[in-house]
């Protein structure tokens, strides 16, 4: 999948927070912040140039900031991952590493993940949060659904922790292939990897549903997740900021879910709801 990168410079922290919220509403799926500025990424097939340019001209250029647009092709993502991918240890219990990194014997859960262009290496706060919260749920003997599975890292962890069944879904062809390959690489071939969206969830009565996706998709999908959860089931979600908690909680409440708790890393949130 190709992406459009929107790079904005000359902004302060308050500008960054506002712009991320606005760009998320326009379809941006992820962001990178640095001392030089803010970068937002949107799938090229979702990019509506006139709408974006009108917004950026008004909210960026006219306020003394500057922006550039760049098409990011698939091979560029591969180069980035290969040059920047380093092993990550979560909560002292889970190691996420590439095939070329050595294992760490004292870490109980060893996940070998080849990211290619899929999301989910534990470097991003949202994946790290979901790994930590999933380990707290003790998946052994439980039925798990991983929505927006990306590399398959969460589904693989659930499988290694003894889940009775794991379904993993992503609507991107590259992520689907990558997730399936990573499951085989980790001897987690029993994970049922599916290309699709909420309409392709193969069952119901899930004990735990994990969804690490962007806010707008989550808001659309929460009623379906609630329907697919077993009574007393748990919904774990990430992919949004602390400012989005009220909006997410209201939507979950409408679907009959109750907020249990949440964790935060650098304004990113991992949140837990119960049915």
CATH number, domain of 143, equals 3.40.50.150
Residues 126 and 210 in one domain: yes
CATH number, domain of 58, equals 3.30.70.260
Q: Which residue has the higher pLDDT, 225 or 40?
A: 225
Write out the two tokens for 251. Answer: 């939507």
Q: Are 268 and 212 in contact (CB under 8 A)?
A: no
- What is the rounded distance in angstroms from the CA atom of residue 164 to the CA atom of residue 139? 8
DSSP H or E run through 86: none
36-40, 181-185, 256-260: which range is least confident on average? 36-40
Write out the two tokens for 199. Answer: 């309409």
DSSP class of residue 124 equals: S
Residues 14 and 114 in one domain: no
Rounded (5°) CA angle 193-213-69:
115
DSSP class of residue 56 equals: H
User: What average pLDDT does the segment 158-181 reach?
Assistant: 93
Q: For 19-59, write each residue's pLDDT tens digit.
A: 888 888 888 877 777 777 888 888 888 899 999 999 999 98
Domain around 32: 3-72
Residues 166 and 121 in one domain: yes
Residues 178 and 112 in one domain: yes
Q: How many domains does the chain have?
A: 2
Residues 59 and 119 in one domain: no
Residues 17 and 147 in one domain: no
Residues 125 and 34 in one domain: no
Residues 45 and 87 in one domain: no
Residues 130 and 255 in one domain: yes
pLDDT given for residue 72 in this prediction: 80
Ranges of H-type helices in the chain: 13-25, 49-59, 74-84, 125-137, 153-160, 173-185, 215-228, 245-254
pLDDT given for residue 82 in this prediction: 58
2-16, 85-99, 124-138, 194-208: which range is least confident on average? 2-16
């Amino acid at each position: 999948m190709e992406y459009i990168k929107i790079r904005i410079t000359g902004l302060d922290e308050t500008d960054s927070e506002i712009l991320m919220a606005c760009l998320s509403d326009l379809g941006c799926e992820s962001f990178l912040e640095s001392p030089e500025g803010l970068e937002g990424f949107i799938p090229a097939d979702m990019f509506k140039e006139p709408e974006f340019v009108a917004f950026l001209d008004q909210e960026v250029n006219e306020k003394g900031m500057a922006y550039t647009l760049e098409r990011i092709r698939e091979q560029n993502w591969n180069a980035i991952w290969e040059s920047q991918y380093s092993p990550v240890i979560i909560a002292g219990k889970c190691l996420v590493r590439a095939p070329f990194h050595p294992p760490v014997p004292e870490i109980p859960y060893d996940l070998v993940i080849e990211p290619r262009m899929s999301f989910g290496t534990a470097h991003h706060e949202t994946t790290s949060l979901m790994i930590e919260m999933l380990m707290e749920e003790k998946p052994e003997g439980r039925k798990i659904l991983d929505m927006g599975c990306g590399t398959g890292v969460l589904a693989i962890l659930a499988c290694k922790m003894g889940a009775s069944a794991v379904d993993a879904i992503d609507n991107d062809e590259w992520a689907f292939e990558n997730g399936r390959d990573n499951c085989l690489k980790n001897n987690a071939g029993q994970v049922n990897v599916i290309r699709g969206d909420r309409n392709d969830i193969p069952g119901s009565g899930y004990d735990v549903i994990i969804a690490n996706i962007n806010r707008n998709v989550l808001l659309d999908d929460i009623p379906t997740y609630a329907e697919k959860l077993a009574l007393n089931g748990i919904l774990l979600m990430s992919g949004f900021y602390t400012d989005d908690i009220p909006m997410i909680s209201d939507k979950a409440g409408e679907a009959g879910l109750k907020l249990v708790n949440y964790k935060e890393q650098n304004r990113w949130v991992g949140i837990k709801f119960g049915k």
